[in-house]
Amino acid sequence: SQQGEEDPQALSIQEGENATMNCSYKTSINNLQWYRQNSGRGLVHLILIRSNEREKHSGRLRVSLDTSKKSSSLLITASRAADTASYFCATVANSGGYQKVTFGTGTKLQVIP
Amino acid sequence: GAVVSQHPSRVICKSGTSVKIECRSLDFQATTMFWYRQFPKQSLMLMATSNEGSKATYEQGVEKDKFLINHASLTLSTLTVTSAHPEDSSFYICSASKQGNGYTFGSGTRLTVV
C-alpha cells in the first residue's frame, strides 16, 4: 500500500500563480523528500526536509512538515509553464536495517502560459 | 554531483525472453540501490533493495525468481526480468543515494513485452 497520499491528484493553474500540493503519510519517518517527474522520464530530487525540521526553502520552493499530523506541503511560488510535471513526495523510514523510500501517489501539475 | 545512469532507456522484447537493465552510479559508490516499477499515470512502487555483495531484499508480492537483481560492485546493479510476459511491460527506474540525503534516479527503462 502507498505510504503517501497526495492531494490534489491534478492541479491546473495560470502562470504566475502559486501551486500547493499536500502529502500525508502513516508511519514515523526520518525525512521526507519531494521529487519532480516529467512525462515518461526519471525523477529529479527537489528538496529534503528532516523530521526535526518544520519548514525549508529552496528558490521558489517552500516545503513544510507537520510530524504531528503526518503531513507535508510543497508550495511553488510564481509558477512557470516549465513547472508543468508530476510531483511526488517520498518518505524515508527505517525498515529492517536499511532506509526504505516510499512514494506518494503524486500530483500532476499543469501551468498554463 | 551524483549521477546515476540507467541503460537501456527503451527495450522491446518477445514473450518468454529475458531482459537485463543496468543501473550505474557514475561518480560515487552506492552500497545500496533501489529498483522501482511505475505503471502509467501511477506512482513508483518499490520492488527491491539491491545490496552490494549480498542478496537483494524484495518487497512483498515481488517475485524474486522473476526479477533477478545482482549488485556485484559498488557502482553497478542489474535487474533481469526473466521469462517476460506482456504484463511485465512497465517503466522501471533505479535510484541510489550518495550521502543518504537525497536519492538520485536513473532516467528509467521503458520495457514493452510483445
Give B12-61 pLDDT, tens digit per residue.
999 999 999 999 999 888 888 999 998 887 888 989 988 888 889 899 99
Say if residues B25 and B97 touch (Cβ distance below 8 Å): no
Cα–Cα distance for residue pair B51/B61, rounded to 1 Å: 19
Q: Which residues of B touch A40 (CB under 8 A)?
A: 91, 108, 110
| Single-letter amino acid, residue A87 | Y
Q: Does A103 contact B44 at a Cβ distance shorter than 8 Å?
A: yes
Cα–Cα distance for residue pair B14/B17, rounded to 1 Å: 6
User: Looking at the complex, does the CB of residue A44 fall below 8 Å from at least one CB of chain B?
Assistant: yes
Percent of chain A with pLDDT strictly greater than 70? 94
Shortest alpha-carbon distance between residue A57 and chain B (Å):
15
Q: Which of A6, A21, A43 to mutate to test the interface with B (most CBs of B within 10 A)?
A: A43
Is the pLDDT at A113 greater than 70? The verdict is yes
Across the range A65-92, mean pLDDT stands at 95
Residue B101 banded pLDDT, cuts 50, 70, 90: low
| Single-letter amino acid, residue A101 | V
Q: How far is CA A88 from CA A85, A106, B27, B57, B74, in A?
A: 10, 4, 25, 24, 28
Q: ∠B98-B7-B86 over CA atoms, to 5°?
A: 120
Residue A13: count of CB within 10 angstroms of its CB: 17
The H or E element containing residue A25 is: none
Strand B10-13 versus strand B109-113 pairing type: parallel
Out of B42, B100, B104, the one facing A45 most closely (by C-beta) is B104
Q: Does A48 contact B106 at a Cβ distance shorter than 8 Å?
A: no
Q: What was the pLDDT predicted at A74?
A: 97
Q: Which residues of A touch B45 (CB under 8 A)?
A: 103
Q: Phi/psi of residue B94, each to 5°?
A: -110, 160
What is the interface size between A and B, counted as CB pairs within 8 Å?
Answer: 53
Cα–Cα distance for residue pair A43/B101, rounded to 1 Å: 15
Residue A46 banded pLDDT, cuts 50, 70, 90: very high
Is the pLDDT at A2 greater than 60? The verdict is no
User: Looking at the complex, does the CB of residue A87 fall below 8 Å from at least one CB of chain B?
Assistant: no
